[in-house]
Amino acid sequence: MRTLFVENKDHELRYERASILVYENGKRKTSVPVSQLERIIVSPSIALTAGVLGVVVEHEVALMVVNTSNPNRSAYLSGAIKTDIQRRVCQFSLLTDFQFRQDCSQQIVLFKTLNQIRFFSKILVQRQDLRREIIKSTTHLKEVYKHLAENHTIDSLAELRGTEGSAARVYFKGYQLLFPESLNFNRRTRRPPLDPVNSCLSLAYTLFHSEAVLAIKEVGLDPAIGYYHAVSYNRESLACDFLEPIRPQIDEWVWQLFQSRTLRSDDFIHQGQSCLLSKTGKKKFYSHYRSKVKGFRRLLRKYARIYLNLILTHESKS
């Protein structure tokens, strides 16, 4: 076991020596040696003793509190954190280097657009009924990609963000067509998610964002100092940078959950305006997430090493 998921509101986490104990309604249900864990993912309703925090830090296990209805209240306690402050000093100093930021940002948008094109190319094989609409969207995305790949004189990050935003709108217009009307997925809604697809997208983005934060910290960089996403209060901008190129792959995975009927409308409940996964739906979602996250985790760690090398190499030349 590498990731422990605890979602039931009747559960509680305690510790004993080097094990995490899971209690249900005050009775011990199971125990897991901390040495077997990389991640513990819990919902906000889970109670835990303060000593659990000390144990997971000591054994470099990441603890994630995932709030699906309000992502701003999700929290992460990191596992392994490198403490070479010089790396972060170098990272911070590059915020004033426009060319470095521009180059990094352009690559982010290029890879994101390329992954959007790849996803739609797969869809064309399976959804001939949407051929006209998907080809139209793909053509636009290819034009954006060509423009970015050939244009090395983009004047500002604002212009780049505008280009990326325009492509994203076209992409999501095509993406929405992949789902049946019964799911009521008409636009991207975040706080709160109003339909099953948005509910899964928000949860998936939150989980993979936390993986990006951990990958960044593992190489000793600061997740708050990004180059495409501007530095902002209470935002992990570099993690946001990392997430952009893989969003289309996350979108594809969410689509596959519905296309394969792994998730259905009855796997969701409504609380007020929010559409959330039911207890059964969460089990299905996390079961598939557990197998999917391994590949994404490797990719995010690769991004972290690439960024570290870029930063240190640039610093050594200056």
Q: State the Cα–Cα distance between residues 136 and 174, nearest whole angstrom.
A: 9
Decide if 3-65 and 85-317 have a common fold. Answer: no
Tell which CATH classification among 2.30.29.30, 3.40.50.300, 1.20.120.920, 3.90.1170.50 matches the domain 85-317: 1.20.120.920
Q: Given a cut of 70, is residue 71 above it in pLDDT?
A: no
Taking only the tens place, the pLDDT of each residue in 252-265 is 999 999 999 999 99
Name the average pLDDT for the chain: 87
Q: Which of 23, 162, 60, 40 is nearest to 105 (CA)?
A: 162
Name the band, by pLDDT with cuts 50, 70 and 90, for residue 201: very high
Q: State the Cα–Cα distance between residues 314 and 316, nearest whole angstrom.
A: 6
Using CB atoms within 10 A of its CB, is residue 43 exposed (0-12), middle (13-18) or buried (19+)? middle
The helix (H) or strand (E) run that includes residue 24 is strand 19-24
Taking only the tens place, the pLDDT of each residue in 15-64 is 888 888 888 888 888 888 888 888 888 888 888 887 888 888 778 888 88
Taking only the tens place, the pLDDT of each residue in 99-125 is 889 889 999 999 999 999 999 999 988
Cβ partners under 8 Å of residue 243, min gap 6: 205, 208, 209, 212
Q: How much is the pTM?
A: 0.86
pLDDT at site 83: 64
Q: State the Cα–Cα distance between residues 310 and 307, nearest whole angstrom.
A: 5
pLDDT at site 291: 83
Q: State the Cα–Cα distance between residues 277 and 264, nearest whole angstrom.
A: 10
Q: What sign does the dihedral 78-80-83-88 (CA atoms) show?
A: negative
Q: Given a cut of 80, is residue 80 above it in pLDDT?
A: no
Tell which CATH classification among 3.100.10.20, 3.40.50.2020, 2.60.420.10, 3.30.1380.10 matches the domain 3-65: 3.100.10.20
Q: What are phi and psi of 46, to 5 degrees?
A: -80, 130
* Ramachandran category for residue 198: left, alpha or beta (phi over 0 → left; psi -120 to 50 → alpha): alpha
In the chain, where the domains are located: 3-65, 85-317
pLDDT at site 81: 59
